[in-house]
């Protein structure tokens, strides 16, 4: 008799409905991938374990509140949570470098441009990814104007000519795109500050 693999979405629903063991199955199923991802970013096993635990505390709290709506996308959702916690970790520790407390203190042991650069790259790539995803949620006409203006550096005159509308209509669509983008940022609770 072959054992059937229960889908993540079924396990999530079972956990929400009070079956605690379902969460344990999900954690065991995805632990290696999530933990490896976290460890690859922070390069410190203890920190990685803390972030891994914080990730699942956030997962549990979200599920218990009934705020989970990523149907069928459990792993990407958890990876996004862990990625955000990694960014939070870097932001918190930006000014608190670790060094060995010895008499042979060397300021260059503390300063690491490479680590700050990696941190900034992670934060920047996350911000860009978040913005790209939010733009996809905009109405088509607003998205078109925003992409032309922000990513192709087109003037509103050029946008108007390319979309066959007046300059005022192009300006209006851009204005609404930015308003809607702000609403989406608030709705998804995204922090765009580096």
The pLDDT confidence band at residue 6, using thresholds 50, 70 and 90, is: confident
Q: What is the pLDDT of residue 151?
A: 76
pTM (2 d.p.): 0.49
In 3D space, the residue among 139, 137, 145, 153 whose CA is nearest the CA of residue 172 turns out to be 145
Under 8 Å CB-to-CB from 63, ≥6 apart: which residues?
Answer: 12, 15, 16, 23
In 3D space, the residue among 133, 119, 111 whose CA is nearest the CA of residue 194 turns out to be 119
Note whether 179 and 173 are within 8 A (CB): no
73-106 confidence digits (pLDDT tens): 888 888 888 988 988 888 777 644 444 444 444 4
Q: Where in the chain is the domain with CATH 1.10.1740.10?
A: 1-94+114-127
Question: Does the pLDDT of residue 62 top 50, yes or no?
Answer: yes
Q: What is the pLDDT of residue 71?
A: 63
Could you tell me which CATH class the domain 1-94+114-127 is placed in? mainly alpha
Q: Where in the chain is the domain with CATH 1.10.10.10?
A: 137-194
Could you tell me which CATH class the domain 137-194 is placed in? mainly alpha
Q: What are phi and psi of 166, to 5 degrees?
A: -75, 160
């Amino acid at each position: 008799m072959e054992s059937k693999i229960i889908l993540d979405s079924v396990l999530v629903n079972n956990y929400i409905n009070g079956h605690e063991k379902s969460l344990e199955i999900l954690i065991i199923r995805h632990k290696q991938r999530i933990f490896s991802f976290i460890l690859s970013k922070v390069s410190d096993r203890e920190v990685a374990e803390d972030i891994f635990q914080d990730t699942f505390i956030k997962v549990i709290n979200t599920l218990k509140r009934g705020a989970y709506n990523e149907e069928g996308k459990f792993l990407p959702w958890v990876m996004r949570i862990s990625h955000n916690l990694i960014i939070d970790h870097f932001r918190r520790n930006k000014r608190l470098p670790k060094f060995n407390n010895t008499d042979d203190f060397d300021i260059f042991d503390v300063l690491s441009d490479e680590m700050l650069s990696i941190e900034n790259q992670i934060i920047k790539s996350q911000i860009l990814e978040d913005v790209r995803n939010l733009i996809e949620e905009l109405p088509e006409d607003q998205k078109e104007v925003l992409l032309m203006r922000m990513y192709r550096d087109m003037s509103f005159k050029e946008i108007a000519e390319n979309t066959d509308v007046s300059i005022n209509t192009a300006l209006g669509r851009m204005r609404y795109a930015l308003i809607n983008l702000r609403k989406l940022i608030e709705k998804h609770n995204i922090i765009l500050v580096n």
